[in-house]
Structure 1
Amino acid sequence: MAEQRISRRVMNLGHLLTQAARRHPARPGFVWGDRTWSFAEMEARAAAIAALLRARGIGKGDRVLVHSRNCEQMFVAMFAIFRVGAVYVPTNFRLLADEVADLAEMSRPRLFLCHEDFSAHAEAVAPLTGSVIRIGAELEALMAQHAGTAAPAEPVEYDDACWFFFTSGTTGRSKAAVLTHGQLAFVVNNHLADLLPGTCEEDASLVVAPLSHGAGVHQLTQVARAAKTILLPTERFDIEEAWRLIEAHRVTNMFTVPTILKMLAEHPAAGRHDHASLRHVIYAGAPMYRADQQMILRRLGKVIVQYFGLGEVTGNITYLPPALHEAEDGPAARIGTCGFERTGMEVQIQDDAGRALAPFETGEICVIGPAVFAGYYDNPEANAKSFRDGWFRTGDLGHMDAEGFLYITGRASDMYISGGSNIYPREIEEKLLTHPDVAEAAVIGVPDPLWGEVGVAAIVVRNGQTDEATLLAWMAGKMPRYKLPKRVFFLPEMPKSGYGKVPKRLVREALEARGLLPLAKT
């Protein structure tokens, strides 16, 4: 007799908004400029979008690609997509139209929700999907047509996909990390337990990062506790306005990256506005210089929380709580650590054979636990490389001390992190090589006091003439600004190994030998 399969039915993640609306219908749930939506209004709007999706034939397992700036419609659409059992597939709104088209070709969406500001993106993706709805006036009108329609949540199981979290490998080619209803429910609880203890309906959270990635996961935790979400009124990062909103709304928590946190803390507006309400200012996505950490602690107090975690583990690897952040150097200051294991997660440092290493021995950082994703969508090769004996291999190198504090000492790939964004050299190099005067190209990441790291390009030219300014201007039309190298240097020939390869180590050494690195401070 065949063994009977037992269902692992779990709560549909879209139910988080329903719960908040039931408990606190009149409380403000979302604030954007001069508009405020209560949780009851958010629930009604999510139900209308869910009814619209069902009317369009979108159901369980279907992918909905979303390309949008931060806005209220994008936020409530996420819950609607969850509710019908479909998969939320958000992109970074800074991506170019052809890049979003590549993501559509890979994820094969049934519907594209595209902000009305991105007409070129809508045109590029339209041939690859069933239909396009523009976020803005068009979606608002369609929501009105479905207002008041019942939209019960689709039954889901633990391993049912609900979010494709785009990430990349050493090649820079995007992969979709599959996040599931059960896994993300654990992540929400884990964030609340480790990063945001005590969060409740009296709290308020300011959004200063794209909702398509880590900030979106962070805001799920706020809805789970019926806390208020506040958007900056414009796309521009206005630091003065951010501090005004922190004071006006008594903001208690934020999710950000070290670059943005540094800019917030060192701005004069930090001294002009009351920020005593802040309890948890979370930073992740890149290392933070010790001098910046000390400055932030002295200006804001012990309110900062660090976590280390990749999209594949949805941030749940290690964390360093406020109490362990010390402004003064000394025995109590754990300088350079990214903290200890998240609740319910296990971290192990492994050698190339998968053996656990002793404290202070350097190896690859590997992790197991309920926050680990379900694998990459339609990419068995990447899955085979990323898992070993059940452990997810992060590709980062580091060591743990005897007490279990983790220290990241390097990266296994050439990827570098600029302003919290992962930058993959090969992607930039491939664009550079399409220029008629570029024969060879290599991009490396170098330290930068503002962005953490920036890229510099080493170029060997062929027939023709070009200079740094001309090449940078040409590149500006080929990729998002945050991916542009800060400098372009020209070499007579590219350094190569005995196998004809171009190791980035040799490129770095060649630039250093010519006095081009480190970059001059600006």
Structure 2
Amino acid sequence: MLTQSEPCAAPRGGLLPVSTRVMNLATFLTQSARRLGDEIGLVWGDDVWTWGEIEARVAAMAAALAARGVRKGDRVLVQSKNCNQMFESMFACFRLGAVWVPTNFRQTPAEVAYLASASGATALVCHADFPDHAAEALAAAPIATAISIGPSTFGESYDDLVAAHRATPAPTAPVDRDDPAWFFFTSGTTGRPKAAVLTHGQMAFVVTNHLCDLMPGTTHRDASLVVAPLSHGAGIHQLAQVAHGAKTVIPGAARFDVAEAWQLVERWRVTNMFTVPTIVKMLTEHPAVARHDHSSLRYVIYAGAPMYREDQKHALAVLGPCLVQYFGLGEVTGNITVLPPDLHRLEDGPDARVGTCGYPRTGMEVEIQDDAGRPLPAGETGEICVTGPAVFAGYYDNEEANRKAFRNGFFRTGDLGHLDAEGFLYITGRASDMYISGGSNVYPREIEEKALTHPAIDEIAIVGVPDARWGEVGVAVCVLKAGASLEADALVDFLKDKVSAYKLPRRVEFWEALPKSGYGKITKKAIREELAARGAI
């Protein structure tokens, strides 16, 4: 639902009515441009822009959109790989009070067409590399304005529009706390993607919280490397950089290049980056990490999934104490827990807190609930639920999903876990990942962690599949390390003294690679689909 601010209630006890007006998120950019106008704010490949230049370009694009009828509350679909124009489009939309609707650029034209329709987009900004996506989006939604990043046949030139509107910048629209700023589409692992409505007031808290809990001390002297699509978590991370004037560095290569990433870390003295565990693994296992100076790194932030302990220990050995883990869904804009660098331990032991994703973020409350919504005590497993200012306003035009998502004032994450006596959270896994074998609940992550201690295993995912005798059994899909060999029986034997017999996978398969989402996360839905396609289910 698109929410508008409720009228203020009549004042009580002599108090004045409370205003719901908040700062427009585009003001973060304006403030940095005023203070740091001649300093570099954005790097993309070999090109650089100062804060003053970015502000001028954003103001001009906002004016161009306004001239084409885009108004406060209108949705602007953006289909683009990372580039300066995509970065700017976020702030141009915010400036008008319009809603930024970024897609994952790796999605198919049909998937993007669905997002166009589901969001009710009336304008499109699309990179010239995606003409088929533009065509299907234009056919699926009442889009009156199409803008092309680069030469194309489907829209007006983004850069030409910026040049034409330099003299008529758009003013920054006033906004209320609950005015939508961003439709953050979920990954759709359990169905079609849903548009989580992120608001100006909510996002201002999220930015403050990121700077407080994830990257304390970040200033205009810092630099942040982008190694994930700006359409999701990386975009939120970069918004926090803009708020404190830290430069954003976007690699120039069309595809993620580990060697280039380390070159950029050294060249720009990068101090932080946002990524996911699989990319941390790629970065720290690549030989380029040893060829470049990465001593500037203070915060290598990973989220999206817990990092397997063996991968965590390797990354700590290579990078030193700069890892930061956070747990958070798009609906809570990443703000559930944090595990800062000083709580990451290289050696196992009582202080290592192996398996935790940290403690609740500042201003947020985490509660473990049973199936009826009752809070559970420390040590008991249930659904992880959260409340606080970072929780989204709801799903756009999806009341059924909203009813399922909220209970007793808490957002239900769909993840299972428990809190310890000190409030540290341990994630067991997605509720959808759990399977029941012979009447017993099996949480794959526990077995996966044990399997990854085998020297031949590089990656593993265990999924439950139907079984006539046991109801469900586990199938382990493994990727071996280069040059390694392993038999299925040998892996099961390796696990026998580490997990209970009913948790052992009944079948082991070896694949060249595991399917991953556009954000680098292993997707068990895709693994099940591939198993079915291979006739293994």
Deviations 1:100-144 (A, max 9, x none): 001111111010111100000011011222232112241111111
- Write the letter of the residue equivalent to 2:317: R
Matched, 1:48 2:67: no
Equivalents in 1 of 2:353, 2:90: separation in Å?
38
Deviations 1:326-357 (A, max 9, x none): 00111110100000000000000011111111
Matched, 1:174 2:164: no
Matched, 1:384 2:403: yes
Q: Is the 8 A contact 1:259 1:451 kept in 2?
A: no
- Among 118, 134, 138, the residue aligned to 1:106: 118
Aligned positions of 1:257-268 closer than 5 A: 257-268=276-287
Task: Tell me whether 109-118 or 137-146 shows the greater mean CA deviation.
Answer: 137-146
Aligned positions of 1:20-419 closer than 5 A: 20-127=32-139, 128=141, 129-137=143-151, 138-168=157-187, 171-414=190-433
Task: Tell me whether 294-303 or 5-14 shows the greater mean CA deviation.
Answer: 5-14
Deviations 1:145-187 (A, max 9, x none): 1113232110000000000000156632110000000000000
Equivalents in 2 of 1:412, 1:347: separation in Å?
17
Equivalents in 2 of 1:345, 1:144: separation in Å?
44
TM-score normalized by the length of structure 1:
0.82
Equivalents in 1 of 2:265, 2:75: separation in Å?
36
Equivalents in 2 of 1:260, 1:220: separation in Å?
21
- Write the letter of the residue equivalent to 1:262: K
* 3-state SS in 2 of match to 1:132: strand
Equivalents in 1 of 2:54, 2:9: separation in Å?
43
Identity, % of aligned pairs? 61
Equivalents in 1 of 2:316, 2:511: separation in Å?
28
Instruction: Kindly tell me the number of residue pairs found equivalent between the two proteins.
Output: 454
1:89–1:22 CA distance, 2 compared to 1 (3 A) = same
Q: Is the 8 A contact 1:89 1:165 kept in 2?
A: yes
Q: Is the 8 A contact 2:475 2:509 kept in 1?
A: no
TM-score normalized by the length of structure 2:
0.80
Q: Is the 8 A contact 1:114 1:132 kept in 2?
A: yes
Equivalents in 1 of 2:184, 2:25: separation in Å?
16
1:155–1:115 CA distance, 2 compared to 1 (3 A) = same
Deviations 1:462-515 (A, max 9, x none): xxxxxxxxxxxxxxxxxxxxxxxxxxxxxxxx75699xxxx7x35749x99996
- Among 508, 514, 517, the residue aligned to 1:517: 508
* 3-state SS in 1 of match to 2:160: helix
- Write the letter of the residue equivalent to 1:162: A
1:48 CA displacement = 0.5
Equivalents in 1 of 2:460, 2:22: separation in Å?
41
* 3-state SS in 2 of match to 1:356: coil
Q: Is the 8 A contact 2:26 2:91 kept in 1?
A: yes
Equivalents in 2 of 1:180, 1:59: separation in Å?
16
- Write the letter of the residue equivalent to 1:314: T
Q: Is the 8 A contact 1:288 1:452 kept in 2?
A: no
Equivalents in 2 of 1:76, 1:415: separation in Å?
41
1:189 CA displacement = 0.1
1:516 CA displacement = 3.9
Q: Structure 1: where are the runs of 5+ without partners?
A: 417-443, 459-493
1:520–1:67 CA distance, 2 compared to 1 (3 A) = closer
* 3-state SS in 2 of match to 1:245: helix
Name the counterpart of 1:7.
19
Q: Is the 8 A contact 2:271 2:299 kept in 1?
A: yes
Q: Structure 2: where are the runs of 5+ without partners?
A: 1-7, 11-16, 152-156, 436-443, 477-487, 493-503, 514-537
1:410 CA displacement = 2.1
Q: Is the 8 A contact 1:73 1:136 kept in 2?
A: no
Equivalents in 2 of 1:364, 1:236: separation in Å?
37
* 3-state SS in 2 of match to 1:41: helix
Q: Is the 8 A contact 1:286 1:452 kept in 2?
A: no
- Write the letter of the residue equivalent to 1:79: F
- Write the letter of the residue equivalent to 1:111: A
1:514–1:227 CA distance, 2 compared to 1 (3 A) = closer
1:7 CA displacement = 3.3
Q: Is the 8 A contact 2:434 2:464 kept in 1?
A: no
Q: Is the 8 A contact 2:326 2:334 kept in 1?
A: yes
Equivalents in 2 of 1:21, 1:272: separation in Å?
35
Equivalents in 1 of 2:110, 2:413: separation in Å?
28
1:3 CA displacement = 4.4
- Write the letter of the residue equivalent to 2:98: A
* 3-state SS in 1 of match to 2:383: strand
Q: Is the 8 A contact 1:68 1:115 kept in 2?
A: yes
* 3-state SS in 1 of match to 2:353: coil
